[in-house]
């Protein structure tokens, strides 16, 4: 078993998370679960190391975006917000393998189910994971919460259902996140809009055949949603990578979106986003889901 654990990994934590048995053993199911957790950690660890070594860009006020050529001081410690934390498997593993060895940094687990927040809080206290906080809020509510700092370095949202992933992106933009890691789950909002306008779309373009049947509507809605999210992040100054979570065979939701802030806002991405919204009859989402685009900003008053 020791060969399958990372150096210094807490056996007690893995028992609490039911990855190891009470005797500290791995069965076939728990071995697969451990492999999955470690695989995901490797993606996030790379980002954490980049953030730890990078200079912190100074804040320009609430909602402002720091320019990429501004150089500040080294960050005092990485702040991470984990949305839809559930039982906080990811947060605990990240703290154990990365944050515990460092004197600074903080993880905030955001979860709407009070009983899970309580259990995670109690587990963190038992393990002595002092720089972990668990907050009983929805993703949307968390952006306005005084329990979270003004700025968050890394935002994660793993299998946050439907529009919760969009709320996590909005949170990251507001908190000037330097990176985001998203694994979208069920996505129904775009599929609902596609269904509402299906008859009109079928008369307008043969492309509507791609979502004429309900099963295809759901699949197309999911695909379009993630494409729009990636374009939105690029338009807001992020470099985006999309890949598979290889090893998560038990889940059909296997898409991993990694966004790193560069400050280079891509106008072409904003234009293509709007063009796709127009083509698929989704313009109603422009001012609800993509509110940080320049065309959504209020006009500047004349001096």
First to last CA, the chain: 69
Q: What is the pLDDT of residue 76?
A: 65
| C-beta of residue 52 within 8 angstroms of C-beta of residue 78 | yes
| C-beta of residue 266 within 8 angstroms of C-beta of residue 194 | no
Query: Token pair for residue 220?
Result: 């197309």
pLDDT band at 173 (very low <50, low <70, confident <90, very high): very high
| C-beta of residue 155 within 8 angstroms of C-beta of residue 81 | yes
Q: What is the pLDDT of residue 68?
A: 38
What CATH number matches the domain at 1-55+74-185, 3.30.465.10, 3.40.50.720, 1.20.1050.10, 3.40.50.150?
Answer: 3.40.50.150
Contacts of 271 (CB under 8 A, 6+ apart): none
pLDDT band at 201 (very low <50, low <70, confident <90, very high): confident
Q: Is the pLDDT confidence value at 63 over 50?
A: no
Average of pLDDT values for 120-130? 96
What single string gives the DSSP state of each residue in 145-211? -TTS-S--SEEEEES--TTHHHHHHHHHHHTT-SEEEEE-----HHHHHHHHTHHHHHHH-GGGGGG
Domain ranges of the chain: 1-55+74-185, 187-236+265-291
| pLDDT-above-70 percentage for the chain | 85
Q: Is the pLDDT confidence value at 300 over 50?
A: no
pLDDT band at 277 (very low <50, low <70, confident <90, very high): very high
- Average pLDDT of the chain? 84
Q: What is the pLDDT of residue 54?
A: 74
Q: What is the pLDDT of residue 184?
A: 87
pLDDT band at 26 (very low <50, low <70, confident <90, very high): confident
Q: Is the pLDDT confidence value at 110 over 90?
A: yes
Structure-model confidence comparison of residues 170 and 245, the more confident one? 170
Q: Is the pLDDT confidence value at 114 over 70?
A: yes
């Amino acid at each position: 078993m020791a060969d399958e654990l990372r150096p210094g990994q807490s056996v007690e934590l893995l028992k609490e998370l039911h990855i190891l048995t009470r005797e500290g053993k791995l069965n076939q199911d728990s071995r697969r679960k451990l492999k999955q957790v470690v695989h995901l950690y490797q993606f996030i660890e790379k980002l954490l190391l980049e953030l730890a070594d990078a200079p912190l860009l100074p804040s320009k006020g609430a909602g402002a975006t720091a320019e990429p050529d501004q150089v500040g001081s080294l960050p005092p410690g990485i702040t991470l917000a984990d949305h839809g934390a559930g039982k906080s498997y990811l947060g605990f593993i990240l703290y154990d393998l990365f944050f515990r060895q460092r004197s600074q940094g903080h993880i905030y687990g955001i979860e709407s189910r009070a009983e899970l927040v309580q259990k995670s809080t109690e587990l963190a206290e038992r393990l002595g994971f002092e720089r972990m906080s668990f907050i009983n809020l929805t993703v949307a509510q968390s952006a306005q919460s005084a329990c979270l700092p003004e700025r968050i370095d890394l935002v994660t949202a793993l299998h946050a259902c439907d529009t919760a992933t969009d709320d996590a992106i909005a949170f990251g933009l507001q908190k000037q996140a330097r990176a985001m890691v998203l694994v979208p789950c069920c996505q129904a909002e775009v599929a609902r809009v596609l269904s509402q306008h299906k008859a009109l779309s079928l008369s307008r373009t043969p492309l509507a055949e791609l979502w004429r049947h309900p099963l295809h509507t759901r699949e197309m809605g999911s695909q379009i949603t993630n494409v729009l999210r990636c374009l939105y992040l690029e338009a807001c100054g992020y470099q985006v990578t999309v890949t598979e979570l290889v090893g998560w065979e038990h889940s059909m939701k296997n898409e991993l979106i990694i966004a790193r802030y560069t400050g280079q806002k891509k106008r072409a991405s904003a234009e293509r986003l709007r063009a796709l919204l127009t083509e698929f009859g989704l313009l109603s989402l422009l001012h609800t889901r993509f509110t940080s685009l320049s065309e959504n900003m209020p006009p500047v008053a004349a001096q």
